[in-house]
Chain A
Amino acid sequence: MKQLTSICAALICLVISTLNAAAQAPEDYPEPESNKMFVVVAVVGVIFVGISLFLLVLDRRISKLERQFEEKQQINQ
């Protein structure tokens, strides 16, 4: 819960910081082939893959903890 609160606080700060930035809409729609949008896709993709890997590691750590817990309980019984 504490972590969630700090995540929410960080998000709110992020929003406030973006709101002040001037919105400059381009006059024309750039051609997708030439505007290097794929670079942004790559960056966002890397970030998302990073988060998923983090989740995966967390998942495996919890699984390991569960296994250790089961083993310990069997020994105690």
Chain B
Amino acid sequence: MLKHWWKILAVLLIIYTIVLGFLGAVPKMGIVRESIRNLYFHVPMWFAMMTMFTISFVYSIRYLSSLNPKFNIYAGNFALAGIFFGFLGLTTGMVWANYTWGAPWSNDPKQIGAGLSVLSYLAYMVLRRSESDGEKSAKISAVYNIFAFALMIPLIYVLPDVLGDSLHPATGGNVGFSEYDKLDGRMRRVLYPSALGWILIGVWLSSLCNRLSILKSRAEENNIL
């Protein structure tokens, strides 16, 4: 039970954000109105995606330096969880954009950047399965994973700022939600616990996938499968 405290913490944090996210007070805003509450649910998807991809990136480096096959499995499953959160972020963002920007997809620089990063990680999943030679495939995909991570950071954090013209808050000179939240930080008190909760859920999902993958590879080694 003690080993699993962080899973309980994740569930409690998200229940906290569901309750305060719907019932807590929010600043009155023109176009977004009550949909500002999406901040508590849409933005944490990206926090979780970033964390999963960062963990995957670290495991790919560790794989290349040690060639321990476990790290290759970890890198793949954390990237898979990252893609999952990336899709959730894109779809929730499209719903929100439809009602605030007028269209689900308006070629916003940040939308395009996020879409491209998820696509580059989908390519990573394809690459992982393309080569039958285990170690060779693992090495190539680890190198590609490092490249995909290095591509994602400028696509999401640098280019939208440089290009300007973004509809997203806090991008390219736009005002972020923190400007409206200056008085008492009541939105921050929900956003950050939510982000932490979803990151922990992502780690939980990835760890389940990891344990299944390891069971499967051990079963193959022992000719059970």
Contact = CB atoms under 8 A, between A and B. Distances in A.
15 contacts: A1-B125, A4-B80, A32-B25, A38-B22, A38-B23, A45-B15, A45-B19, A48-B11, A48-B14, A52-B11, A55-B7, A59-B4, A59-B204, A65-B215, A69-B219
Interface residues on A, range: 20 to 34
Nearest to B219: A69
Contact of A41 (B22, B28, B205, B208): B22
B70 interface: no
Interface string B85-103: 0011001001100110000
Nearest to A40: B22
- Smallest CB-CB A-B distances: 5 pairs: A52-B11, A41-B22, A23-B99, A15-B91, A62-B211
Interface in B41-84: 80, 83-84
B189 interface: no
B15 A15 contact: no
Nearest to A19: B98
Given A4-B84, A55-B204, A45 B18 contact: yes
Interface string A2-29: 0010011001101100110001010001
Interface residues of B, number: 34
Given A4-B84, A48-B14, A62-B211, A41 B19 contact: yes
Contact of A15 (B28, B34, B94, B208): B94
A11 B22 contact: no
Interface of A: 1, 4, 7-8, 11-12, 14-15, 18-19, 23, 25, 29, 32, 37-38, 40-41, 44-45, 48-49, 52, 55-56, 58-59, 62, 65-66, 69, 73, 76
A21 B80 CA distance: 32
B222 interface: yes
B218 interface: yes
A11 B94 CA distance: 11
Contact of B215 (A1, A52, A58, A69): A69
Nearest to B125: A1
Nearest to A62: B211
Nearest to A60: B4
Contacts of B7: 55-56, 59
A59 B208 contact: yes
B161 to A, nearest CB: 27
Contacts of A65: 215
Nearest to A23: B99
Interface string B181-223: 0000000000000000000000011001001100100110010
B104 interface: yes
Contact of B104 (A15, A23, A32, A56): A15
Nearest to A33: B23
Nearest to A7: B84
Nearest to B88: A11
